[in-house]
């Protein structure tokens, strides 16, 4: 078991509460490669809107049939697959994706358009120039406008935007580019309570769905994002990530100091971010029965804890047994995911390695159970609040915090 201690990197984690996944900047492309990518992005927009891939069929409109043909081409051409592989966050290249067979074989957009009686645009190879059809840029702009609606309760959020603007002016927070130390672009990690600047507007992630059950592959989160111009949007997490990545000036707004992470009492303008919960298992597993008082699951949720654990006996994450909620701590205006990562890193040396079978008999090793007494968890939460946690580590043998 690796011993968990705080290094300079951990101090940085405390300051920023999280890391982002590196993604290399795009290299220069040929006109043909740019057309392939633009065509694939059209397909992605269709999938985001309809939560399914485009299909063939005479009863489908011209663009859906066009996208279906184009997707067939990309999936069967090695060069195209390699080019857009990194962009395929929806799994459209997966061999497991079932796509209906076309009614007829069309090897190019031109063949399909000719069969449909649509006049080919004068600019060869660019479907965006079809007559009587808006260009891709125009359609993207229209989609962006259409996806935003007036925020009816903006007065609730306005004090937060005013505070962020004031903090930026006085240097209490900073807007950092979404790139690593080498200047390479990174894909933003997004959690409820995060602040960004995207397309020149401050954006606040006011809500993140409890579960990842949205999007084409049912593997994405749904967000409610509020903008400083009084509008809001209901979009997928990966859509916001993509918008931030494509915006060269996209930034994350973060505090300049580690400071307290959350307060005991919510101020009037604070918005709840979630709850830290500590669970105790009722499993009859010998290891659990012998050490029940000191084995706890530590997690964070944005929803109701009781609802979260209602089906514990069917979930290997909860050891396939009922659980008891022994402690909860409310969070305000902070990132749930980043704080959860911090807590798990701190108790890494005490992580419980236990194997349980799931409903189908497959072995599973849950990752969020630790051999830590409840009073120690309380103490850690208090030290995270006052910012002093970096000076301590957990001694598993003594079952207590010690100076690092």
What is the residue-averaged pLDDT of the chain? Answer: 75
Q: How far apart are CA 18 and CA 178, in angstroms?
A: 13
Top mean-pLDDT range of 140-149, 210-219, 238-247: 238-247
Q: CA nearest 302: which of 325, 334, 267?
A: 334
Any long-range contacts for 213-217 (C-beta under 8 Å, 24+ apart)?
215/48, 215/51, 215/90, 216/47, 216/48, 216/51, 216/52, 216/53, 216/90, 216/91, 217/90, 217/91
The residues, any chain, with a CB within 8 Å of residue 126's CB and separated by 6 or more, are 35
Q: How far apart are CA 107 and CA 276, in angstroms?
A: 54
Predicted local confidence at residue 69, as pLDDT: 82
Structure-token pair, residue 378: 């309380």
Question: How many angstroms separate the Cα of 240 from the Cα of each of 123, 196, 280, 384?
Answer: 32, 10, 36, 29
Whole-model pTM: value is 0.39
- Give the residue-averaged pLDDT of 111-138: 44
Confidence of residue 277 (pLDDT cuts 50, 70, 90): very high
Predicted local confidence at residue 74, as pLDDT: 85
- Give the residue-averaged pLDDT of 337-362: 85
What is the CA 259 to chain-centroid distance, rounded?
Answer: 25
Q: How far apart are CA 17 and CA 8, in angstroms?
A: 13
- Angle between the 31-50 and 136-147 helix axes, to the nearest 10 degrees? 30
**CB contact at 8 A, 25 and 245:** no
Q: CA nearest 262: which of 249, 252, 272?
A: 272
């Amino acid at each position: 078991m690796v011993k968990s201690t705080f290094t300079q990197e951990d101090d940085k984690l405390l300051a920023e509460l999280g890391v982002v996944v590196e993604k290399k900047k795009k290299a220069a492309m040929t006109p043909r490669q740019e057309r392939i990518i633009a065509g694939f992005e059209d397909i992605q927009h269709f999938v985001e809107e309809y939560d399914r891939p485009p299909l063939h069929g005479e009863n489908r409109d011209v663009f859906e049939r066009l996208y279906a043909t184009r997707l067939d081409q990309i999936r069967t051409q090695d060069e195209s697959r390699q080019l857009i592989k990194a962009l395929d966050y929806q799994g459209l290249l997966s061999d497991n994706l079932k796509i209906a067979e076309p009614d007829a074989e069309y090897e190019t957009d031109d063949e399909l358009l000719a069969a449909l009686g649509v006049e080919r645009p004068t600019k060869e190879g660019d479907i965006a120039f079809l007559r009587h059809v808006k260009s891709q840029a125009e359609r993207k702009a229209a989609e962006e406008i259409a996806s935003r609606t007036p925020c009816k309760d903006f007065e609730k959020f306005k004090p937060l935007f005013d505070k962020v603007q004031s903090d930026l002016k006085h240097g209490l927070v900073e807007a950092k580019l979404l790139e690593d130390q080498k200047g390479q672009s990174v894909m933003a990690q997004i959690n409820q309570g995060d602040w960004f600047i995207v397309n020149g507007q401050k954006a606040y992630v006011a809500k993140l769905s409890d579960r990842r059950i949205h999007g084409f592959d049912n593997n994405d989160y749904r967000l409610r994002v509020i903008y400083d111009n009084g509008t809001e949007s209901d979009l997928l997490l990966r859509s916001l990530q993509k918008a931030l990545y494509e915006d060269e000036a996209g930034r994350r707004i973060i505090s300049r100091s580690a400071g307290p992470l959350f307060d005991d009492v919510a101020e009037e303008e604070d918005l709840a971010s979630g709850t830290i919960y500590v669970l105790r298992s009722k499993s009859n597993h010998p290891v659990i029965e012998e050490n029940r008082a000191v084995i706890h699951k530590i997690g964070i949720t944005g929803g109701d804890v009781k609802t979260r654990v209602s089906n514990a006996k069917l979930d290997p994450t909860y050891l396939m047994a009922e659980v008891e909620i022994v402690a909860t701590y409310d969070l305000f205006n902070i990132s749930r995911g980043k704080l959860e990562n911090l807590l798990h890193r701190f108790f890494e040396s005490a992580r419980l390695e236990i194997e349980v079978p799931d409903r189908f008999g497959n072995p599973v090793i849950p990752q969020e159970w630790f051999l830590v007494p409840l009073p120690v968890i309380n103490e850690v939460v208090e030290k995270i609040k006052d910012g002093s946690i970096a000076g301590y580590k957990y001694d598993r043998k003594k079952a207590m915090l010690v100076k690092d």
